[in-house]
Amino acid sequence: MMARSLTQPWTAARPLTLVAALGIVATATLGVAAHLAPDPGMSPLSLTISDYAVSNNGWPMNLAILVLGVTSLAVPLALRAARVEVGRLAEALLLVWCLGLISSALVPTDPLGAAELSTRGYLHRYVSVAAFVALPIATLVAVRRLAADARWRDAVRPLRVLAGTSVLALLALYYVAFPGGRVMMGLVERILVLVEMALLAVLVVRLHRVTGDRANR
């Protein structure tokens, strides 16, 4: 048994994929809960997720961000354990996704009504942006290698489509944040988050299946 585990370290990948999957479910649950009893006057169409996270009833949203960041660390670890070659750049970008989310949860933005962003607010903004830029780029880099792997071919197209959609959503978010005057910024940001969580879910589900297939051989 010990010899088998030493010669097949990819067996550790399967429980890691379960951790990542549970993290996605927990994040979605907490995110929904954060919208059920918002502070008076708060609208998900205009206010960002970060605005919700620092509101009086925003702790579920902040916890959701933290949970997603921490459990997402299981993804690059699972890829390594399963010996799925995605390249060092993709692995590094996945770490940026994870650490960016964790940092944005631990360093929240300024509360609503602040006259201008503090140093903490700017730090929160840029680590959040880094996280949401990193995941689709990591995916686009990874699928170039995954396309050559028969076990991943069925997942390559949805991964590319979701990553491409994420890039378009990022561009839309940039537009509404600056020239667009923040009109419907909350809605655009939530679309981006949903697309990137779907992207992460497709990656995790396929990785879980790949490790399951190898375990059954």
User: Residue 9 — pLDDT band, cuts 50, 70, 90?
Assistant: low
Q: Is the pLDDT confidence value at 7 over 50? A: no
Q: Is the pLDDT of residue 4 over 50?
A: no
What is the SS3 string spanning 5-74?
A: HHHCHHHHHHHHHHHHHHHHHHHHHHHHHHHHCCCCCCCCCCCCHHHHHCCCCCHHHHHHHHHHHHHHCH
Residue type, 111: P
Mean pLDDT, the chain, rounded, equals: 93
| Residue 140 amino acid letter | L
pLDDT on residue 6: 42
CB 176 within 8 A of CB 185: yes
Alpha-carbon distance of 146 to 185, in angstroms, equals 34
Query: Exposed, middle or buried, 211 (CB in 10 Å: 0-12/13-18/19+)?
Result: buried
Give the other-Cβ count within 10 Å of 89's Cβ: 12
Please tell me the predicted confidence (pLDDT) of residue 5: 43
Distance CA 38, CA 60 (A): 11
| pLDDT (tens digit per residue) in 78-87 | 999 999 999 9
Distance CA 87, CA 78 (A): 14
Instruction: Give per-residue pLDDT as tens, 125-153.
Output: 999 999 999 999 999 999 999 999 999 99
Report how far apart, in Å, the C-alpha atoms of 171 and of each of 158, 186, 207 are. Answer: 20, 14, 29
- pLDDT at position 12 is 87
